[in-house]
Amino acid sequence: MVAENLKPPHVALLCCPGMGHLIPFMEFAKLLVQNHGITVSFLVITTDASPAQIEFFKCPKIPPEIQIIEIPPADMSNVVSEVTPLVARLCLTVRESLKPINSILAGLNLTALVLDMFTTQAIDVARQLSIPVYCFCTVSASFLAFSLYVPTFDRELEGEYMDRSEPVKVPGGREERVQDLMDPARNRKSDDYKWCLFHFRRLTLVDGILENSWEDLERLSLDAMRNHDFYKTISAPPVYPIGPIIKPPESIFCPGDAKIISWLDDQPPDSVLFVAFGSGGTLTSAQLTELAWGLEMSEQRFILVARKPFDALASAAYFRTKDDANNPLFYLPEGFLERTEKVGLTIPSWGPQAAILGHPSTGAFLSHCGWNSALESLSRGVPILAWPLYAEQRMNATLLVEEVGAALKPDVVVQPGKGNLIGRKEVEKVVRAIMRGEEGNAVRRKAKLLKESAEKAMKSGGSSFDSVSRVVDFWKSQ
């Protein structure tokens, strides 16, 4: 048979709901189509879709070579409630949505199926259909190494993680302080933890893990998963660092976004602090007040993406991104907008993050440390002021500060009746430190080096480019 007559590999991508999963999965789909000639079917879980997800799939920039297949919504009325915790709700949504996955996959004639960490229920169906299965890991390599270790550590652990005085020593990798661990680890009896354990156990069942990181960023954890005997003992699959796979700068269509970029154009280089907490994070009322006062007191230029506060849950916006019923600017301190209008720009709910981070006037990013946001920031040479909220973000923050060296972190204190709080004076101090202090200069230099390293990794001949190519070449050989 002549090579030109061979059909290209057909790969299906299946991620769980949430913009932190959807965005890197779509960028990976574009990379496969545009750089490697792969045919891609993108399977979309439509159950409980947020307004942001619905808008995302209306984007005209999705290449026509990517076939969007919507999985019919499942009836969740008797499965979850308003009090179902985040991870359990996410995993139950996936479980119910994937009931028709057998018939969907059977009709696609696939070369491979690419899952994420929270859609591993599809592994069993793929095996029945003799479809090779890969995991695209949208979290850090450090967290991946931890996840592969958790099932073993769970069997050996007596009591709770939080009762330990010693950190969790990941084989060959980082020591994770118990206070930094992902939220579900705070209660091993919780449904959230049980679901994480379920999925983490199944990571060894895939044929390979595509990790959204790169060699120079997380060499310690990547080397550990390649070489440490523990990962050989558990038959961990090969890990391919293929990142940073990030969202490109947005095209500016709406007047509000154009105003933001125009405002940035008038500011000096590296002078603006961008403040945003991702697609799902929220602050308490007290913390939003302290943040606003600290920004004002710092007298530094800033762009603040303000979201309606929520006092009970830091992940309150996860399933309702861009759907606030009330104008979140109403929750800022009285007179804040007027007093800061010469140095700051405050916008409600959402901003064009990739475009802002890529602008030369942006000098630092006050971020929740979701992995996508961290990659977007470092890939554009912007240091991070780490402000983790939920999930594994505390682990990411510590990684970025202590190992990567491209972030600073404010001190958190316990306020009677208010829980953990970063006070306005601490905000003032760390904002000044990262924007004009020697510490800020040091992390900015490191971020600039990582930008160069990321660009090199993704170019032809770079480490991440070669990792993707090895996997694609294998698919083509099949």
Enzyme catalytic residues: 21, 116
C-beta of residue 267 within 8 angstroms of C-beta of residue 301: yes
What tokens appear for 72 in the block? Answer: 């019919």
CA distance 357 to 377: 6
Placement of tokens 């038959």 in the chain: 235
How many other β-carbons are positioned within 10 Å of the β-carbon of residue 55? 12
Exposed/middle/buried for residue 155 (C-beta within 10 Å: 0-12, 13-18, 19+): exposed
Placement of tokens 């970029």 in the chain: 261
Q: Residue count of the chain, please give it.
A: 478
Placement of tokens 């060296």 in the chain: 405
Which strands sit side by side in the sheet containing 239-241, from one edge to the other?
66-71, 39-45, 10-14, 112-115, 133-137, 208-211, 239-241
3-state per-residue secondary structure call for 79-112: CCCCCCCHHHHHHHHHHHHCCCHHHHHHCCCCCE
CA distance 261 to 239: 38
Look at residue 472 and give its three-state secondary structure.
helix
423 DSSP assignment: -
CA distance 277 to 103: 39
Tell me the Cα Rg of the chain: 22
Q: In what helix (H) or strand (E) does residue 427 lie, and over which residues does it extend? A: helix 424-436
How many other β-carbons are positioned within 10 Å of the β-carbon of residue 77? 7
Alpha carbon distances (Å) from 76 to 53, 191, 393: 18, 17, 28
CA distance 172 to 231: 9
Placement of tokens 């895939």 in the chain: 206
What tokens appear for 253 in the block? Answer: 């269509």
What tokens appear for 377 in the block? Answer: 């920031």
Cα 375 to the center of its chain, rounded Å: 8
CA distance 198 to 170: 19
Angle at 164 between CA 237 and CA 88, to 5 degrees: 55
